[in-house]
């Protein structure tokens, strides 16, 4: 595995994606592909349950170093939004890394991620 040289990037593609969070602790939300680098600009989690609160976990599963939490059992009240990562604190995913997330109850929260794919191919 080799990290792309971000000085010699040949393309930067900005994307956004979202999905409902489940309760599995190791649900892969986003993975970094071969010869790429992902710059996560924001992670926003919205409560979609009008009456019940839940808790949220978000982690980076690094290909060499295991899982590291960036949010662990954080309370998400009903009808609220949690900004896990904002534009002032981006995180990079290297080749083979995964972003994982879960909620304490199925169908209680949606995750939205804004990111860039950097490629030096």
- 105 lies in a domain? yes
The pair of structure tokens assigned to 40 is: 């996560």
Identify whether 1 is part of a domain.
no
Residue 3 lies in a domain: no
Structural domain contains residue 5: no
pLDDT score for 86? 95
List of E strands, the chain: 11-20, 28-31, 36-47, 54-62, 66-76, 81-85, 91-93, 98-103, 109-119
Residue 4 lies in a domain: no
Residue 40 lies in a domain: yes
Residues forming a β-bridge with 98: 31, 61
Return the CATH number at 44: 2.60.120.340
Number of domains observed in the structure of the chain: 1
pLDDT of res. 83: 97
Q: Is residue 2, in this structure, part of any structural domain at all?
A: no
Structural domain boundaries, residue 81: 10-119
Parallel, antiparallel, or unpaired for β 109-119 and 66-76?
Answer: unpaired
pLDDT 10s per residue in the chain (121 long)? 566 677 888 899 999 999 999 998 778 999 998 889 999 999 999 999 999 999 999 999 998 888 999 999 999 999 999 999 998 999 999 999 999 999 999 989 999 999 999 987 7
CB 102 within 8 A of CB 54: no
Contact 18, 111 (CB under 8 A): yes
What is the structure's pLDDT at 6? Answer: 77
């Amino acid at each position: 595995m080799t990290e792309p040289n971000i000085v010699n990037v040949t393309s930067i593609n900005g994307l956004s994606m979202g999905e409902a969070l489940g309760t599995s602790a190791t649900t892969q939300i986003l993975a970094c592909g071969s010869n790429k680098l992902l710059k996560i600009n924001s992670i926003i989690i919205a409560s979609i349950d009008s009456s019940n609160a839940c808790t949220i976990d978000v982690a980076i599963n690094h290909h060499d170093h295991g899982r590291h939490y960036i949010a662990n059992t954080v309370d998400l009240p009903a009808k609220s939004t949690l900004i896990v990562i904002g534009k002032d604190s981006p995180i990079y995913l290297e080749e083979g890394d995964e972003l994982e997330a879960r909620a304490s109850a199925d169908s209680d929260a949606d995750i939205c991620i804004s990111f860039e794919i950097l490629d030096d191919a």
